[in-house]
Amino acid sequence: MPARPIVEARGIHKHFGALHVLKGVDLILAERELVFVIGPSGSGKSTLLRCLNRLEEPSSGSVIVDGVDLLDPRTDINHARQRIGMVFQSFNLYPHMTALGNVTLALRKVAGKSRSEADALGHAALARVGLGDRAGHRPGQLSGGQQQRVAIARAIALEPRVMLFDEPTSALDPELVGSVLGVMRDLRESGMTMVVVSHEMGFARNAADRVVFMDRGAIVEEGTPAAIFETPAQERTRAFIGQIQRH
Amino acid sequence: MSSWDRFLETFFNAKVMAKYLPDIAHGTLVTVELAALVIVSGLVSGLALALLRSLGFRPFNLLIVFVVDLFRALPPLVIIVFIYFGLPAVEIAPSGFVSTWLSLALVLMAFSEEIFWAGITSIAKGQWEAARSTGLSYGQTLMQVILPQALRLTIPPLTNRTIAITKGTALGTVVAVSEILGMASSAVSNSYNPSPLILGAGAYLILFFPMVVFGRWLETTMAWKH
Amino acid sequence: MLQTFFNLEIITAAWPIILAGLGNTLLLSLVVVPLGLLGGLGLAMLASVRKPWVRWPLMAWVDFFRAFPPLVLLILLFAGLPFAGLELGGFACVCIAFFLNTGAYYGEILRAGIDSVSAGQSEAARSTGLGRVQTMLYVVLPQAVRNVLPDLLSNTLEVVKLTSLGSVVAMPELLFQARQAQSLTYNPTPIVLAAAVYFIMLWPLVRLLSRLENRALARRG
C-alpha cells in the first residue's frame, strides 16, 4: 500500500477539564478502508471521531486528512470539511428546509455552485440513497431511516474523501436500520473510505476491513473482524464482545 | 478643570445631589407605594377574571375578553391621560396618583388575566377528570390540583410582564405625581443641574434591577423542573 | 355623556390632526422597530459567543436596560444631554432611548431563540464546511426566529405602544396631537378618538398574539 493514507491521526489526547478522555490514540486509514470503532460508552470513540473533522479540538496530537493538517491554524477548516463527510446519531437535518434544500445548502454556500448545478447534484445524491422522489419533503414528513439517508446524501453530495459515521443507526427503530445499513454498504462498495462508530456487529462482520476496540480513552486492540469478534487477544475485548453478543 | 472633572461636576454634582436627596427619597417612597398597589391590585384582579372565565358563562367571557383586549391594546399613557384629563368632564376628578395607579392596574389586570388563563387551560383535562372522579369539588380541584401546576407555568412570563408594567410608574410624572421622575425633573429645573436626574435614575435602578435579576433567576429555576 | 366623550363636531374638527398624529406614530414605529431589532440581533450574536466573560457583561447590559424605565431614559437624554452641550431633538432622543431599551428586550428574546436551536444543527452545518456566519444566517437564525415569533410580535406591539412616550418630548405623534386638540377644545373627545385609533390599529395583533401565546404555553405544559 504505497499510497499516502487518507486519515492520519497520531497521538490524539483530549481533555475535558480534568477528564482525560483520549489518551494518546493513533488512527491511520488507507484509501477505501472501512474501519469500525467499538467500545463501551465513555470510551472516547465519538470524541475521537469528532476530532477527525475538528468538531472537537484535540488537546494535543496531529490530524491530517487527505494531506491537509486540520490542526494548523492556517488551514481553511471550512474548505477542508467539504472533503470529510459526517453523519450524526440524531441526523441533525435542518427542519426548515426540504430534503433537497438540506443537501444543496453547502453546495451553494461553500462549494459555490449555482442553484441549478446544486439542485442537479442534490437530486443525484438523493437518488443514490434511494430518496430521489422525496426531494421536496421536509424532515418532519420523513421516517427516521429516510431522514438519516438524507443526512448521508447531504454529506456525499460534497464528494468527500472520507465519511465519518457517529452511531448512525442507534436512534432508529429496528425495522428502519436495514435501509441505512444498505446505503452504507453501497458506499463501501463504491470505494468510499469510512470510519464507523457503531454497535451493528453484523454489518462490521460483513463490511469492515478492520475493527478497533477502544476502552477508557485508549485503543485496546485492533484487527480483522474475525480476529476481534472470534479470537480477541485482550481480556477487556473479550468481556465487551461477550456483553454485546448477549443482546 | 479637565473635561472629566467638568463631566462629574455637571452630572454627579455631590452638593446638588445632597440638596435634593430628601426629595428623591420621598419620590422613591411614592414610587414604591404606587408599584406595590399596582402589582397587588393588577394581579389579584387578573387572577379573579381568569377564574371567572373558567366558569364558562359565554356572555360573561365575551365581556372579559373584550376588556382584556382593550387594555392590552391601549398604551398606558393614553389611559392615564384619559382618566386624569378626560374624566373631570363628567365630574370625576381622580388625582394623578389614582389615575396612574388605575391605569397601570388595569393594564396589568389584562395581561395577567391572559397569562393565568393560558396557564389554567394548558393543564390537561385529565387532571380535572382525575380530581373530580375522586370526589373533589370544583373549587377544591382548582385550588389543590390545577392552580399549583398553572402557577409553575405562569410565573416566568408573569414576572417579566409585571416588571415591565410597573416601570410605568414613571409615567405619573405626566400627571404631576410626586414620584421619582417628577421630583427629579423639578429639581433639575430648580438647580439648573442634571445631577438629580442621575440620582433619580439610580433610585429606579436600585428598585428595579434586583427585580429583573430575580425574574431571570426564576426563569432558570422553573426551567429545570421540566 | 355622549356630548362629552363622543362629540361629533369635535371629532370632525380634530380628525385631521389625529390623522397626522397617527401618521407620525406609524413613521416612528417604522424607524424604531427595525432599530431595536438590529440592536437586539447584535446583542444576541454577541451572546452566542459562549464565553462567560462575554455573556456576563452582556446580561448586565440587557438587565440594566430592562430595569430602566424608558421614560426616565428619554427624559435623561432630552433634559440631561443639553448640559453636556448636546442639543438633540425629540426625535433623536426617542430613537436613542428606544434603541437602547427595546434593543435589550429584543436581544433577550433572540438570545433565547438562538439557545433553543439544538447544537446538533450548527454541528451538522459546520461539518459540511459552512462557516460560523453562514451557519448562523442560514441554519440557526431561521429556526431561532420561528421559535420565538410570538415573543417577537408581542414585543413589537409594546414598542408601538411605547411611541406614545414621544408625546412627553413634544413629538407630534398620536397622543400628543390628541392632547393638543383636547386642550384647545376643552373636551376629552380627541383623547377618546386617539384611544379608538390605537385600539383599532392594534387589536388584530392582540388577538393574533393571544392565540399564539395560548398555543405556545399549551405545548410547554
Distance between B177 CA and the closest CA of chain C, angstroms = 14
Q: What is the largest CA-CA distance in chain C?
A: 71
Neighbours of chain B (3+ CB pairs under 8 A): C
Cα three-residue angle B157-B161-B166, rounded to 5 degrees: 150
Mutate to test the interface with A, among C116, C117, C128, C138 (most CBs of A within 10 A): C128
CB distance A96–C142 less than 8 Å? yes
Distance between A210 CA and the closest CA of chain C, angstroms = 25
Contacts of C127 in chain A (CB under 8 A): 53, 55, 81, 84-86, 155
The residues, any chain, with a CB within 8 Å of residue B24's CB and separated by 6 or more, are B180, B183, B184, B187, B196, B199, B200, B203
How many angstroms from the chain centroid is the CA of residue B156?
14
Q: Inspect the structure and tell me whether chains C and A have 3 or more CB pairs less than 8 Å apart.
A: yes
CB distance C127–A81 less than 8 Å? yes
User: Residue B223: pLDDT band by 50, 70, 90 thresholds?
Assistant: low
Element (H, E) at C118: none
Distance between B72 CA and the closest CA of chain C, angstroms = 7
CB distance C67–B211 less than 8 Å? yes
Q: Please answer whether residues A155 and A93 qualify as being in contact, where contact means their C-beta atoms are separated by less than 8 angstroms.
A: no
Cell numbers describing residue B221: 429555576
Contacts of C70 in chain B (CB under 8 A): 167
CB distance C195–B74 less than 8 Å? yes
Q: What percent of chain C has pLDDT over 90?
A: 53
Q: Does C210 touch chain B (CB under 8 A)?
A: yes
The pLDDT, as a whole number, for residue B226 is: 37
Q: What is chain A's length?
A: 247
Segments of chain A scoring below 50 in pLDDT: none
The pLDDT, as a whole number, for residue A63 is: 95
CB distance B204–C72 less than 8 Å? yes
> If we measure between CA atoms, which residue out of A25, A22, A34, A29 comes closest to residue A8?
A29
Flag whether pLDDT at C6 surpasses 80.
yes
Mean pLDDT of B200-212: 91
Please write the tens of the pLDDT for every residue from A10-28. Answer: 999 999 989 999 999 999 9
Contacts of A52 in chain C (CB under 8 A): none
CB distance B82–C191 less than 8 Å? yes
Q: Does C32 touch chain B (CB under 8 A)?
A: no
The residue of chain B nearest to residue C4, with distances taken between CA atoms, is B89
Q: Inspect the structure and tell me whether chains B and A have 3 or more CB pairs less than 8 Å apart.
A: no
Distance between C119 CA and the closest CA of chain A, angstroms = 9
As a three-state string, the secondary structure of A71-106 is CCCCCCHHHHHCCEEEECCCCCCCCCCCHHHHHHHH
Mean pLDDT (chain B) is: 87
The residue of chain C nearest to residue B183, with distances taken between CA atoms, is C72
Given the DSSP bridges, would you call strands A60-65 and A7-16 parallel, antiparallel or unpaired?
A: antiparallel
Please write the tens of the pLDDT for every residue from A24-78. Answer: 999 999 999 999 999 998 899 999 999 999 999 999 999 999 999 999 999 999 8
C68 DSSP assignment: S
Choose the closest CB to A154 out of C128, C134, C143: C128
Please write the tens of the pLDDT for every residue from C144-186. Answer: 999 899 889 999 999 999 999 999 988 889 999 988 888 888 8
Which positions 59-88 of C are in contact with B (Cβ < 8 Å)? 59, 63-64, 66-72, 75-76, 79-80, 83-84
The pLDDT, as a whole number, for residue B62 is: 92
**Cα–Cα distance, A221 to A156 (Å, whole number):** 30
C-alpha dihedral sign at A118, A119, A124, A127: positive
Q: What is the DSSP string of chain A?
A: --SPPSEEEEEEEEEETTEEEEEEEEEEE-TT-EEEEE--TTSSHHHHHHHTTTSS--SEEEEEETTEETT-TTS-HHHHHTTEEEE-TT----TTS-HHHHHHHHHHHTS---HHHHHHHHHHHHHHTT-GGGTT--GGGS-HHHHHHHHHHHHHTT--SEEEEESTTTTS-HHHHHHHHHHHHHHHHTT-EEEEE---HHHHHHH-SEEEEEETTEEEEEE-HHHHHHS-SSHHHHHHHHHHHT-
Flag whether pLDDT at C191 surpasses 60.
yes
Q: Please answer whether residues B83 and C182 qualify as being in contact, where contact means their C-beta atoms are separated by less than 8 angstroms.
A: no
CB distance C4–B82 less than 8 Å? no
User: Residue B65: pLDDT band by 50, 70, 90 thresholds?
Assistant: very high
A94: alpha, beta or left, given left = phi > 0 and alpha = psi -120 to 50? beta
B91 DSSP assignment: T
| CA atoms within a 13 Å half-sphere pointing along the CA-CB vector of C103 | 22
What are the residues facing A35 on neighbouring strands? A195, A210
**Amino acid (1-letter code) at residue B16:** V
User: Residue C221: pLDDT band by 50, 70, 90 thresholds?
Assistant: very low
Q: Please answer whether residues C162 and B75 qualify as being in contact, where contact means their C-beta atoms are separated by less than 8 angstroms.
A: yes
**Cα–Cα distance, A192 to A30 (Å, whole number):** 11
Alpha-carbon dihedral of residues C81, C86, C89, C94, nearest 10 degrees? -50
The pLDDT, as a whole number, for residue C88 is: 84
Q: What is chain C's length?
A: 221
**Cα–Cα distance, B123 to B116 (Å, whole number):** 11
Block residue for cell numbers 430648580: B190
Q: Does A165 touch chain C (CB under 8 A)?
A: no
Terminal CA-CA length for chain A: 38
Please write the tens of the pLDDT for every residue from B118-145. Answer: 888 877 677 777 787 877 778 887 787 7
A179 phi and psi, to 5 degrees?
Answer: -60, -40
